Structure 1
């Protein structure tokens, strides 16, 4: 990792030293490890930064100050410190690092989750919360979820007689992508003109480039040269231009009424209607719509699939838990053929399984970075503007002060617990909290619950021949979202066949 970006960095050494010398001399900062010249603490980050930062926090405490390149960074690793950041001082540190904002990019839209805290972000957030992800809106898409999940189960049933392992990781990615496309656009765009494989590749590329080391993130003014040298800048531009072309084609199709009249009103329809109703200053432009659609896809497709992937891996490693959750589902649903969303509220243990999965395997182990807007203090330490803030949700979910046997998969720990994942309990923060909390929680969880419930109801699950539960690879793969390094292959055994 170091060798690739070190060459252009060394050539810029004199300029970096001058800029660093002009940095404000800061005192009374939180504790942290010693820094090297220029790169600061970058050398202490592994391929899985959430794990290396967790190890450092054991030595330096739940609030640490590090220097990544020229960027001062605050790392938070406990529920108490997370509450200070995302509740007590939410307003002072609810922006995003400027280099992730639209001013630094040649394209005219950006996922609103990455946008700085300003009027634009506040308006887009309001649209998402009130118009797109309200409980009423999420419930309106229930037929889509149920129809696509039923289709998935039917497809697996056809192949279950062969006793051949299936790639559940791929199935999860397909179902979240399919549902998200139908909710956002009214149909699945696979195989259409834009696609020919390009849509899926662009989505994968977006998660890779956004999760990659970027010189511009750590070395303001000069880091873009490093990104040019490594090719990251070009990859990022090409990726987002692909999305720009695709989203514009979707918008044009909706404007020209080129769709089947039977199609349900989708999110693009809703956004275009808002734009028509609020013309003039502050109106919703096509670039605003593209930004929201980008938010939906980057935030919804991969993360939902990752949660289900980890859940099935943990269940097959813990057969007693698997049997317990299947017994619950089957006792309530019986053999009527499928689990409806109306059944989900009764599946208390399934919900515990999902909570426990989110605790151990948050899809974004390091929540998207915040940036401090104004000076404040925590525990007597000074936190200054332009400081980047990383909340280690992965470390918080394994904090032994709050979780007994934190490394073990024990859904029953939530039996008499009020702790939830919606941002009000800082022991469990897979979706963040405060102003920057994920607005699409209800949409994402509804897909996860319905998909897992039906898979666990319709099938028993066996391991491929020669594989024991102890052999299951639980290693993580680095990236913006952290998925399993090895896909989940399991053998579906049809439970619904009449005896």
Structure 2
């Protein structure tokens, strides 16, 4: 990657990070949409100007991506990528490029950050619980056996790995308050009257650590899912990292597959240790963030090639 591409990538990363912060920022218009003072307040604190600047920078980036993919002289890969598929669906439609840009933005913001955050929390819990990591590696390596690489088709056979991912999402949902909802009609919940057009936040972080629903809720224990059918596909309200109902995350299957396959590949190909002088007690599990809850401090691990032996 040359210097110009590196600068463009760094610039996009900066704008992308700013967009994530802006999306989770307090906006008076979100909470008081009917008040004429709301927009005045957002202008006064500079939020509206910040939104506009970030939007224009993201729009310019997505315009560049679309232009490159629509260039007749472009050397196309053997298979279409996501942008190619969206462009093919868009051609012939009486629509602007705006829907394409919106879908690309959703893929970037909703699909990349949450997956990477979940992987970091999973590796954090595994390095603090070496017996769990050993058990997961045993399952993966015995199943792959003499094959050099893991295949996506193998995931359906990795029962314990799936339990590790479930337990990670229970303790560390990447979006702890989900995407905000809005009531359509007047409802009564636990004796409280909630008027229509009220903004609702679902605290899935608290649900996943509820001692009424979970035994030893603060403990990372994947085996808890061994004898129960609870899953995260929206049917069980004890575990809702992707939401539920009509507004459930549309990329739930893709997101789960990416996390499971990447985590399985890391555990299959490498053995993992902490840097010299560190112990599992030194690994901080403190998080930070608003819309996406990630590790507050970086996670440093030392990989080494796996031993050329099979586990018993």
TM-score above 0.5, yes or no: yes
TM-score by length of 1: 0.58
Considering only CA atoms, is the larger Rg found in Structure 1 or Structure 2?
1
- TM-superposed deviation, 1:196: 4.5
What SS class does the counterpart of residue 201 from structure 2 fall into? strand
Q: Pick one of 300, 312, 317 that aligns with 2:111.
A: 300
1-side partners of 2:3 and 2:246: how far apart? Answer: 34
Q: What pairs up with 1:81-480 in 2 under 5 angstroms? A: 192=5, 195-219=8-32, 220-277=35-92, 279-280=93-94, 284-379=95-190, 381-480=192-291
RMSD over aligned Cα atoms: 2.3
- TM-superposed deviation, 1:315: 0.6
Q: Pick one of 279, 294, 299 that aligns with 1:488.
A: 299
Q: Does the CA contact (< 8 Å) of 2:31 and 2:199 recur in 1? A: no
Deviation string 1:246-295 (CA, Å, 9 cap, x unpaired) is 11122222333342133421222222222234x34xxx431111111111
Q: Does the CA contact (< 8 Å) of 2:234 and 2:243 recur in 1? A: yes
Q: CA 1:385–1:189 in structure 2 vs 1: closer, same or farther (change >3 Å)? A: farther
Q: CA 1:200–1:458 in structure 2 vs 1: closer, same or farther (change >3 Å)? A: same
Residue correspondences, number: 308
1-side partners of 2:235 and 2:269: how far apart? Answer: 34
**4+ residue runs of structure 1 moved beyond 6 angstroms?**
none
Q: Which deviates further from its counterpart, 219-228 or 484-493?
A: 219-228
Q: Does the CA contact (< 8 Å) of 1:458 and 1:496 recur in 2? A: no
2-side partners of 1:344 and 1:398: how far apart? Answer: 27
Name which structure has the greater RCO, CA cutoff 8 Å, separation 6+: 1
Q: Does the CA contact (< 8 Å) of 1:366 and 1:391 recur in 2? A: yes
Q: CA 1:236–1:254 in structure 2 vs 1: closer, same or farther (change >3 Å)? A: same
Q: Which deviates further from its counterpart, 468-477 or 206-215?
A: 206-215
1-side partners of 2:107 and 2:9: how far apart? Answer: 22
1:69 paired residue number: none
Q: Does the CA contact (< 8 Å) of 1:189 and 1:195 recur in 2? A: no
Unpaired segments ≥5 residues, structure 1: 1-187
Q: Does the CA contact (< 8 Å) of 1:370 and 1:389 recur in 2? A: yes
Q: CA 1:383–1:311 in structure 2 vs 1: closer, same or farther (change >3 Å)? A: same
TM-score by length of 2: 0.91
